[in-house]
Amino acid sequence: MTVRVPAKVNVQLSVGPLREDGYHDLVNVFHAVSIFDEVVAKESESITVAVNGKWSDQVPTDESNLAMRAARALAKHAGRTYGADLIIQKDIPVAGGMAGGSADAAGALVACNELWGLGLPFEDLMEIAGDLGSDVPFSLLGGTAVGTGRGEQLSEVPTGGTFHWVFALAEGGLSTPSVYAECDRLRAAEGAEVPWPQLNDSLMEALGTGDAYSLGAHLSNDLQSAALSLRPELAPTLDAGRQHGALGAIVSGSGPTCAFLAIDALHARDLALSLTTTGAAHTAVAAHGPVQGATLV
């Protein structure tokens, strides 16, 4: 069984105050884009993971692998012992703020549900996904959606068209917990009260009408300052994208991938070329969204 699952960009990521349980309440507007991992599940007596592709050397294949954890959680939910050899073809950056690990977990859930003939409904898979991580449910769902709570409580958002993006892929990753910790540190140093996260109505209108210019003007990410504090070299990359005509420039999630909104597909190709030829980005990839979530192929 082969499942294709997309990366995501957060077009709004608003982070509330630190909670007693160590999490933050979020308003998180997810948008699935056409950079995909593929997860293949083959019959086996045990659950194993192998990884191929450009990022394979950065992905663990032990008990910490989120796809392996997803397969085991699915088997536990079904109340039986199952096996599967999971083979992941990586194209989504690792620790890049694009939910690559969460995508693989979602792919494993769909692939193993099919391989094992469980026939579990989508709602059951979403429940298991929510226990695995805040981004996993959206990787199942795809499209565009608002996440609240820790980000796992999703409401689908209709969009009025296709948006075109360029992603500047940085060397090395950033740990999501480290970026949140830096966000908390910076806020504490400022001493200002952290407001409750609110959905940006103008951004939602732009998504609904397909207005790329308005969407670009309203992109926001409360983790961006923390990501730039940990990786200052990202700031010139963002500036370069704006100078080359990006409608909006933002760190994707916890970073370090930088996302640029383009006017159309041709502009996205030109922008990607400009970022790489000028040395502003090591690698730049054009993509579009929204796209479907985890899908059997």
- Is 101 annotated as a binding-site member? yes
* Whole-number Å distance between alpha carbons of 7 and 142: 9
8 among known catalytic residues: yes
Q: What is the DSSP string of 249-272?
A: EEE-TTSS-EEEEESSHHHHHHHH
204 is in an annotated binding site: no
Which phi and psi angles does 182 have, rounded to 5°?
A: -65, -40
- Which entry of 8, 90, 104, 222 is annotated as an active-site residue? 8
Was 98 annotated as part of a binding site? yes
Catalytic hit among 37, 135, 211, 222: 135
- What is the DSSP secondary structure assignment for residue 77, as one 8-state letter? H
User: How far from the centroid of its chain's Cα atoms is residue 51's Cα?
Assistant: 19
Q: Which residues of 92-116 are buried (b: 16+ CB within 10 A; e: fewer)?
A: bbbbbbbbbbbbbbbbbbbbbbbbb
Cα–Cα distance, 144 to 135 (Å, whole number)? 13
Residue 100, annotated ligand binder?
yes
Is 103 within any annotated ligand binding site? yes
Annotated active-site residue 222? The verdict is no
Structure tokens that stand for 40 in this block: 């293949």
Q: Does 9 count as an annotated binding residue?
A: no
Would you say 99 is a known binding-site residue? yes
Consult the annotation and say whether 96 binds a ligand: yes
149 labelled binding-site residue: no
Binding-site residue numbers for ATP are: 93-103
- The residues assigned a catalytic role are 8, 135
Binding-site residue numbers are: 93-103
